[in-house]
Amino acid sequence: MCIAIPAEVIEKKEGNIGIVDYGDLRQEVRLDLVDVEVGEFVLVHVGFAIQRLSREEGFETREIFRQVFAAMEEEAEGQQTS
């Protein structure tokens, strides 16, 4: 299964390179596959922005990922204390 992560484009550089913000991490990604501007959200898979999202979709999807990650951490902590 492949997962694409939502991120906000915060900077565009020459050569179709963008800096994206995942909420607590920034990373360079390729922008070859989408036409996107600073401030827009994209889905990122293996270093490529593959789809543009609305801001609402970006924030909603980011929150879902945050909730899933928190639940996974909580479960792992519970297993360690058992």
Over range 18-47, report the average pLDDT.
Answer: 95
- pTM score, two decimals? 0.81
Instruction: Look up residue 14 and give its DSSP letter.
Output: T
Identify the pLDDT of residue 13. 97
What domains are defined for the chain? 5-80 (2.30.30.140)
Query: Which residues, 6+ apart, have CB-to-CB distance to 50 below 8 Å?
Result: 4, 33, 34, 42, 43, 44
Identity of the amino acid at 75: E
Q: Confidence class of residue 24 from pLDDT cuts 50, 70 and 90? A: confident
Over range 51-76, report the average pLDDT.
Answer: 91
Q: CA 11 to CA 1: how far, in whole Å?
A: 29
Specify the DSSP element, H or E, that contains 60.
Answer: helix 55-80
